[in-house]
Amino acid sequence: MRRARLALGGFAAAVVVTAGCTLPAFAPRTEGQGEAAAPGSAPTWRACPEVPDELVGRGASGMRYECARVLVPRNWGSGAPTGATAGPGTGETFEIALLRIRSNKQHDRIGSLVVNPGGPGASGVDTAVYLSFGSAFGGLPAAVTDRFDIVGFDPRGVARSSPVKCIPDADLDASFGYDPDPQSQAAFDGFVDLNRRIGQRCGDRYGDQLPLYGTEQAARDMDAVRAAVGDEKLTYLGYSYGTLLGATYAQLYPDRVRALVLDGAVDPQQKLIAGSESQAKGFERAFGNFHRWCAANAGRCPIAPDARGAVTAAIDKAKVSPVRGGDGREATAGWVFYAVISSLYTESGWQELALAIDQLQAGDPAGVFKLADAYAGREDDGHYSNLFDANLAVNCADETEKPSREQIRQLQSQWRQKYPLFGPALAVGMLGCVEWPGQRDPYPTGKAVGAPPIVVVGTTGDPATPYEQTAALASMLGVGRVLTWEGEGHTAYPQTACVTTAVDAYLISLTVPREGLRCPAR
């Protein structure tokens, strides 16, 4: 989810959730990357097999992994305030970490496929590693890896690229564990205070640099990445928030676009309130689909036939008597809620959620924590990556709308009636940017005049970037071609043969999917 408290990258997050992975998949790693290339100069690539080793224990068979870093201006001079002088490591540039993956079977090379998993805050380097393992593991098909280098980059402020880190682990624990629907005024005020404290810490640490982490600045960095890999035009695969990054690039550099696949579309024209309500609606719809799946698959769903009732009861019970885990941590209402959020990113997460709620009812919160921690980027030792630090920094730099606390309080009540499980949390989640300091640097929202056709992929059951946003993004760009997957979960490529065939043909041969193409769920 792109907004405020609820934020997660698309593909990479899905990999972590479905695999039940406990590795620190989004942890900032800066060591061993070599010297950064000066702005505009060619980077020096070095072999770095330790990156996939660190993430998944090995590299993919037949793949070579190389790392480099490039320097980019901290301020590209496009609306962000000049003279940003406060904060750690203040200087003229940011370092952007790159990972290039090349198949030993590569032939007739087209160029580089640059990938971004969204968030904002998720690592493109990590995502490239996951994608390199091929279609048998949910990664890219050989038809693509045989023709392209796969290039992942961590956007400014994320993971290995001059990471933003200003939220203490204790505050993140408090935020995720907080009641997702603080109904009493005292509870609401407590959440306001927590968000104010987080904003103040980040403001004290980064000062007037905070607007420099916005999407337009990162999109301009992408052009430096394109130049660094030696491509005249950009070929790009962006998931979730990565669709906003790609759309921004297309507006800034339409003549440098070769092919863009934007999967899990964000509507750039939605402001904070509209975007938050859209997600509340999307998650409520996806949860309804989960509820119906449980009723129809009682043998695989131990909380059938009333999954909605079981989950709601578990959250309500956790508000008054949370179950304590073996490490002493309590599965409060917030942690149970984020386990639900985490599971809805992929249809394969539904059974894991049902099992986790069933185990929680029996006094074991391990399944709840496994799901919620995968979403939060929380490691076993209680340490967090900088996923949510970067998420706030980017979202709040982008966002110009700033509702009052009173307005949020009213929306919390209104959305509780319309979207009972998710509405209140999406309403109070807006406090993150309301209490965030610093100026704003909004991204452009217009047509990509002069760009070639851009493929915009939408999933009808997507909770985090609801399907309605797909056509909105394609229409805004003016050159978008919608590809629909009638499936569940967040993002579509390369999950089914129909979607994969259409996207591969576009990436390789620039064959645009036919107008109105809809791919079945199976």
Catalytic residue among 112, 240, 278, 343, which?
A: 240
CB 48 within 8 A of CB 81: no
Residue given tokens 């960095």 in the structure block: 221
Catalytic residue among 208, 373, 398, 462, which?
A: 462
Which of 86-95, 245-254, 461-470 comes out lowest in average pLDDT?
86-95
CB 247 within 8 A of CB 270: no
pLDDT in tens, 17-35: 332 222 222 333 333 445 6
Token pair listed for 60: 């993919």
Give CA–CA dist 518/394, Å, rounded: 33
Catalytic residue among 112, 291, 490, 504, which?
A: 490
pTM for the model stands at 0.91
pLDDT in tens, 310-322: 999 999 999 999 9
425 has a pLDDT exceeding 90: yes
- For the chain, give the mean pLDDT: 90
How many CA atoms lie less than 13 Å away from 36 in the CB half-sphere? 21
Would residue 149 show up in a list of annotated catalytic residues for this protein? no
326 has a pLDDT exceeding 50: yes
What is residue 413's predicted lDDT score, i.e. its pLDDT? 98
Percent of the chain with pLDDT over 70: 90
Token pair listed for 443: 């991204």
What is residue 91's predicted lDDT score, i.e. its pLDDT? 61
14 has a pLDDT exceeding 70: no
Q: Strand, helix or coil at 512?
A: coil
Would residue 240 show up in a list of annotated catalytic residues for this protein? yes
What end-to-end distance do the CA atoms of the chain give, in Å?
A: 25
List, in order, residues 6 or more apart from 454 with CB less than 8 Å away. Answer: 246, 247, 250, 257, 259, 260, 262, 448, 474, 477, 479, 480, 481
pLDDT in tens, 60-94: 999 999 999 999 999 998 444 444 444 444 468 99
pLDDT in tens, 109-130: 999 999 999 999 999 999 999 9
Give CA–CA dist 315/480, Å, rounded: 41
pLDDT in tens, 191-229: 999 999 999 999 999 999 999 999 999 999 999 999 999
Ramachandran bin of 159, using left for φ above 0, alpha for ψ from -120 to 50, beta for the remaining angles: left
Would residue 398 show up in a list of annotated catalytic residues for this protein? no
Beta strands in 337-425, from DSSP E residues, in sequence order: none
